[in-house]
Amino acid sequence: MASEIIGRTNEWHRLDMCLENDEAQLIAVYGRRRVGKTFLINNYFKGRFDFKITGVYKQPLKEELSVFIAELNNQTGQDHPVPADWMEAFGLLRDYIESKPENEKVVVFFDEMPWLDTPRSKFLAAFEWFWNGWGSARKNLVFIVCGSATSWMKKNLDENKGGLYNRLTCRIYLMPFTLGETEEYLISRGIRWSRYDITECYMIMGGIPYYLSKIDSELTYGNNIDNLFFRKRAELWDEFTFLYRTLFENSDQYVKVVEALSTKRNGLSRGEIAEKTELPENGVLTEMLNNLEYSGFIRINDFYGKKQKTYQLSDYYTMFYLRFIKGNYGRDEHFWSNMLDNPARKAWAGFTFEQVCKDHVDKIKSKIGISGVLSSVSVWRRVGNEETSGAEIDMLIERRDRVVSICEIKFSTGEYEINKEYEMKLRNKIGAFGQAVKSGYGLQLVMITTFGVKKNIHSGIVSNQVTIDDLF
């Protein structure tokens, strides 16, 4: 594997398997914008493609075809005129591939394919004709399609009910870096921060390589955030608008949904989303929620013991933008550094650290020794009334061995100290949940903190501990 690639071991292996296969390969690479899809494919093939084209955002059919023929003429050394349509274009591509030796792999890469499918271009029909009528029978052909518009990829490739039904031979969904991979990436760039700073940086940028690549190794963590998000004309201050506009049609409607979700830390039901956004509670809203979930911008939370579900905002950059960047442009170029002890920053950190833990639940299971035990993750909430107080649990891990791990998540600058009042709060919470839990199940309290729980007379309630080091 190329030394400059961080993580991506499974994806690299999948590509190895495709190249070793004696049949034609149609490979789809999905993932959130800026997550490194093109970087992965370029590095795997070391830039050696028999043909490569990148779609151009919001350009008419004629411009997309001009880009196509320019790339083809560059590869063939010929001087074909711009084709009249995509049928003609794919016909020229077929002729070119047929001129290549049959005993050698021919690699074709269509990057940002959704952008090539302009209105009334009939691009998808032409591609279906090309693949079904000819390409799928070429045993030496490796055809890679890639796109940040995950909803388009899912609808037109994964769930295609027409000519491309079940034609994909490999699906690669590229996830953001984990905390451990983020640390490895930063070290590779000469950036050595504490794991506390890396975790907080992750809560802003997620594990998105493009954002992480903007970090200046000569600046501190805080100065980097000010420099990238809050100074005038900062590189990432306007990323939000471009991000949603390039991923989703009717992006303003998607923005309404994520803005509504940003107002409720524990998420909203489908009906609550419709009420807050004033969008009709119909199939269109369902499709939007599915697209956001599939693209990694929201997650679905299961409620323990109920069929109820909520949709929760889970994209770190979006959460940070809506909380701190929107409406703050140019007001304070040192905003983040000056927010160090601000209650709003502390509240944001506490909530967002919960999201980090949910995204690293495999590490939590490993630390508490249940990696090999079948388990499910959910949340729990009891609404208070005149007779009982309300209670809420950040994360539950229900295990097949009839034990439920009650996870309390706290983000602090040092060891977390449990005092008498908080011990009673924890005991009341465990008691309240015990009334709702299945009979015969054991309960254990797991504290997930930055630097561990300070040992004192109240800390005995804790059965197990997880720290940020364990999440790496």
Position 424 pLDDT exceeds 60: yes
The DSSP H or E segment spanning 110 is strand 106-111
Co-location of 287 and 186 in the same domain: no
Per-residue pLDDT at 1 exceeds 60: no
pLDDT given at position 335 = 93
| DSSP assignments along 369-394, one per residue | T-TTS-EEEEEEEE---SSS--EEEE
Q: Please state, in angstroms and rounded to a whole number, the distance separating the CA atoms of residues 30 and 297.
A: 14
User: Do the domain assignments include residue 2?
Assistant: no
Q: Quick one: pLDDT band at residue 415, thresholds 50, 70, 90?
A: very high
- Average pLDDT of 193-207? 97
Do 67 and 46 fall into the same domain?
Answer: yes
Return the exposure string of 426-458: e unless at least 16 CB atoms fall within 10 Å of the residue's CB, then b. Answer: beebbebbeeebeeeeeebbbbbbbebbeeeeb
Could you tell me which residues come within 8 angstroms of residue 260 by beta carbon, excluding any fewer than 6 positions away? 268, 272, 273, 276, 277
- Looking at the fold, whether 370 and 421 belong to one and the same domain comes out as yes
3-state helix, strand, coil in the chain (%, to 5): 45, 15, 40
Question: What pLDDT, on the 0 to 100 scale, is given for residue 2?
Answer: 41
Other CB atoms within 10 A of residue 241 CB = 11
Which of the pair, 290 or 388, is modelled with greater confidence? 290
Alpha-carbon torsion (213, 215, 218, 220), positive or negative? negative
Kindly report, residue by residue over 228-271, the tens digit of the pLDDT: 999 988 999 889 999 999 999 889 999 999 999 999 988 999 99
In a domain, 25, yes or no: yes
Determine what percent of the chain is predicted with pLDDT higher than 70.
98
Question: 200 lies in a domain?
Answer: yes
41 found inside a domain: yes
4 falls within a domain: no
Does residue 100 sit in the same domain as residue 135? yes
pLDDT in tens, 64-85: 999 999 999 999 999 999 999 9
Are 29 and 158 found together in one domain? Answer: yes
Least confident window among 73-77, 108-112, 210-214, 247-251:
247-251
Domain count, the chain: 4
- What range does the domain containing 187 cover? 179-237+329-353
Identify whether residues 384 and 446 lie together within a single domain. Answer: yes
**Position 3 confidence tier, pLDDT thresholds 50, 70, 90:** very low
Phi, psi of 464 (to 5 degrees): -150, 155
User: Per-residue pLDDT tens for 389-409?
Assistant: 778 898 999 988 889 999 999
Q: Do residues 152 and 53 share a domain?
A: yes
Are 202 and 228 in contact by the 8 Å Cβ rule? The answer is: no
190 belongs to a structural domain: yes
396 and 453 belong to one structural domain: yes
Identify whether residues 220 and 310 lie together within a single domain: no
Does 158 lie in the same domain as 19? yes
**326-347 confidence digits (pLDDT tens):** 988 667 899 999 998 899 999 9
**pTM assigned to the model:** 0.92
> With contact defined as beta carbons under 8 Å apart, do 28 and 153 qualify?
yes
421-429: average pLDDT: 93
The answer to the question of residue 3 being in a domain is no
Band (pLDDT 50/70/90 cuts) for residue 114 is very high
Per the prediction, the chain carries an average pLDDT of 93
Do residues 114 and 67 share a domain? Answer: yes
How confident is the model over 334-383, as pLDDT tens digits?
A: 999 999 889 999 999 999 999 999 999 999 999 999 988 888 999 988 87
Q: Which residues contact 136 (CB under 8 A, 6 or more apart)?
A: 24, 26, 167
74 within domain boundaries? yes
**Among 154, 173, 192, where does a domain finish?**
173
Predicted pLDDT of residue 332: 87
